[in-house]
Structure 1
Amino acid sequence: MLKIGSHVSFSDKGLPSATAEAVTYGSSSFMIYTGAPQNTRRKPIESMNIEEGQAAMNQAGIGEIVVHAPYIINLGSYKSNTYQLAVDFLQEEIRRTHALGVRNIVLHPGAFTDKDAEYGVNRIAEGLNEVLNGTSETDVCIALETMAGKGTEIGRSFEEIAQIIDKVQHNERLTICLDTCHIHDAGYDIVNDLDGVLKKFDDTIGLKRIEVVHINDSKNPVGAAKDRHTPIGSGWIGFEAINRVVHHESLQGRPFILETPWVGKDAKTQRPMYEVEIALLRGNVSERFGESFLSDVERLADFFNKQDIGARSFVLDTWNLLKNDAKAKKADPREPMERLYDLAMEASLFPELTEEQVNQRLVAWFAGAGK
């Protein structure tokens, strides 16, 4: 079965609550932060209810899961206190990951800030050596995430990641988290040349190191170096390209994790599209949502066809408009999904459905479901 899941929250109740949330999306894997991703405050390992959570995972048929390190730690920093905080925290987070029974902790490699890329590569490798040497009692791997190239972050090219790996002593404990939005934004054309991109990765780093894949669409064209995620199908990568990634023979067996943003006009009721995204990629939409769901998607498609609105052309034209026309963006900053949602609501297509349910059908329309 395809190991596909979502990024889920990690409340005070620990692993059981994360598992329960993942189940609502139909996940067969999931990724967690062991606390808030914006800070390094963490509760004791004993409070994570690990045994109860693992029992819940077994009951739900969820096997391999992933931990993600918080964004704010920076192994690439030249500031000694920032660097040491990253080293010390990562060592403790690896021990927490080990206690959870998880193999991979995903890490944004770091940023060189006021130095240069060569300094950043060397500093990150130095930090990884300290972290791995200080946690030799575990078999937890650090999955270096491919980055989009915004600012001074390292990991924006396969070559930079390879340079880091080559400088780390125990690099058998370094794996890779391949992020579709990030490599697209970094300039790798996975839409038109996925095989070529994967061959380049294999030649530079080795496909065997990939142990986690983040699947996200992008709000920006290839090479933009922006890193802005959007629900699958509503961005520049598109459903078909992401579907090819998920089902590519060279990537099978890895957990595929969604990090697509939550959507909705009301912040209090916003929800992610994980459930429908997983069902579309798994190919069991009618089983998950029922045949009436596909009938609704057909109705949506007919409505948009009558207005001469095509899914891909509308998405890309809207992103181009928002990118290239400042006046148009100021007058109407709505993104593609929100504009299409408003059209459907103005026509009263689905008065009985919630905002989340309408958005789920939009995502399915992007994917061509119901045709």
Structure 2
Amino acid sequence: MSVQTDEKFNTVCCVKWEVGAHTQFSKNIYNTLKKSIFCGMTVTQFFFGNPKSFTRHRASQEDIDICKKLLTRFPLHVFSHFPYVANFAGSVKQLAWDGSPEQDYKTQIIINELEYELSVMANFNQGRKRNGVVIHPGNYKDRSLGLVTIAKSINKINFAEGSTLLLENAAGKGCSLATTFEEIKEIIDHVVPEKQKHIGVCVDTAHLCGWGEYDLSKCSEIDRMFKEFDDIIGIEKFTLLHLNDSVVPFGSKKDHHALLGTGHIWAESFVSLVRLLDTCKKHGIPVMLETHGLDMLTLGALSDSVN
């Protein structure tokens, strides 16, 4: 593999915010990053393997090295998303690290694969550009015990230098944990101090809508969300925004993403969306679309209209 010439990277979309769309993994990391760059993205996210399997793709050193060269010319925020099925609390019926060797073994396998993925993503830690692995923290019927157990699992990770683990907020379906900023803060507080520097947060707008804490269709609620995040966790931990509209209504406790402007958040107006994007830009927070690449074109048109 070799880095392609500049003319191969004419982009199809340009926006004033740092945004990208979730990209399908294409045989290796280099091809995946190249696809993101071609589409005009300054942020990329992909599944580093089957999203329903814990076994991760094994990256060759050649792939990693050529990606580093590519990123010196076309800087990107690079994130991967760990499988949704991972539960760092153990399972809904059995906590990890609570006397069940079988459950501990299963959870340790997940941690080992996450540790590998973190080590690969750490190679793309470049200056002010962010990188990391996003996880859904887990589920358990007893919320307090579940949150502490998630932290215990995180404490078992041997973090590579420059690696970041992002805890994503949940919409509240079933007994999912990390639905509020307070719960995310509780997890972080139980991580040993020397590993807390490796922890960041990914905020998903559709999940916020599903949980029913912030009505993001209003500019005042956008402002309140950022202020309360800063007050509770600290804005420096706000590592990534997952930008999704919501098929399901406010407070439904469900997670179903929609294209921007077709859901319950921004169907009426994009005014608060611009406020959200501008605030992310102010704080240096990259933005990731998780629906369809068409949303990149929507943001391109929106960017042109507000310039």
User: Would the TM-score normalized by the shorter structure come out above 0.5?
Assistant: yes
1:254 match = 285
Give the whole-Å Cα distance in 1 for the aligned partners of 2:79 and 2:282: 16
Aligned residues: 269
CA distance in structure 2 between the aligned counterparts of 1:49 and 1:284, rounded to whole angstroms: 39
Tell me which moved more, 63-72 or 118-127: 63-72
Judge conservation of contact 1:25–1:274 (CA < 8 Å) in 2: no
Cα deviation code 1:117-139 (max 9, x no counterpart) = 112101101001111xx22x422
Equivalent position of 1:41 in the other structure: 55
Q: Deviations over 1:121-166 (max 9, x none)?
A: 01101001111xx22x422111111111112111111111111111
Q: Is the 8 A contact 1:24 1:275 kept in 2?
A: no
Query: For the residues of structure 2 that align with 1:36 and 1:125, how far apart are their CA atoms?
Result: 25
Return 5+ residue gaps in structure 1 as ranges.
Answer: 263-271, 287-371
> Over the residues paired in the alignment, what is the CA RMSD in angstroms?
2.3
* Corresponding position of 1:175: 200
Displacement of 1:284 in angstroms is 7.0
Alignment of 1:191-230 (within 5 A): 191-192=217-218, 193-230=221-258
Q: Distance in 2 between matches of 1:243 and 1:128?
A: 35
In the alignment, which residue of structure 2 is the partner of 1:232?
Answer: 260
Q: Name the structure with the higher helix share.
A: 1
Over 3 Å counting, the alpha-carbon distance change for 1:218 and 1:189 in structure 2 is: same
Contact 2:45 2:79 in 1 (8 A): yes
Identical columns (%): 28
Mapped contact 2:68–2:123 kept (Cα < 8 A) = no
Task: Please report the TM-score for the alignment, with normalisation by the length of structure 2.
Answer: 0.80
Residue of structure 1 in register with 2:25 after alignment: 10
Residue identity matched to 1:83: T
The 1:27–1:285 alpha-carbon spacing in structure 2 relative to 1, beyond 3 Å, is farther
Runs of 4+ residues over 6 Å off in structure 1: none
Structure with bigger RCO (C-alpha 8 Å, 6+ apart): 2
- For the Cα contact (< 8 Å) 2:78–2:121, is it kept in 1? no
The aligned residue for residue 164 of structure 1 is: 187
Q: Tell me, in whole angstroms, the C-alpha distance in 1 between the residues paired with 2:303 and 2:41.
A: 10
- Which one has the largest radius of gyration? 1
Per-residue CA distance 1:148-185 (angstroms, 9 max, x = gap): 11121111111111111111112122111111111121
Distance 1:34 1:163, change over 3 A: same
Q: Structure 2 regions of 5+ residues with no counterpart?
A: 1-15, 96-102
Spell out the pairing of 1:17-32 with structure 2 (5 A cutoff).
17-32=31-46
**SS state at 1:65 partner:** strand
Structure 2 partner of 1:70: 83
Instruction: Say if 2:244 and 2:258, in contact at 8 Å, map to a contact too.
Output: yes
Query: In structure 2, do the counterparts of structure 1 residues 281 and 177 end up closer, same or farther at CA, with 3 Å as the change threshold?
Result: farther
Query: Following superposition of structure 1 onto structure 2, how do residues 318-337 of structure 1 map, counting pairs within 5 Å?
Result: none
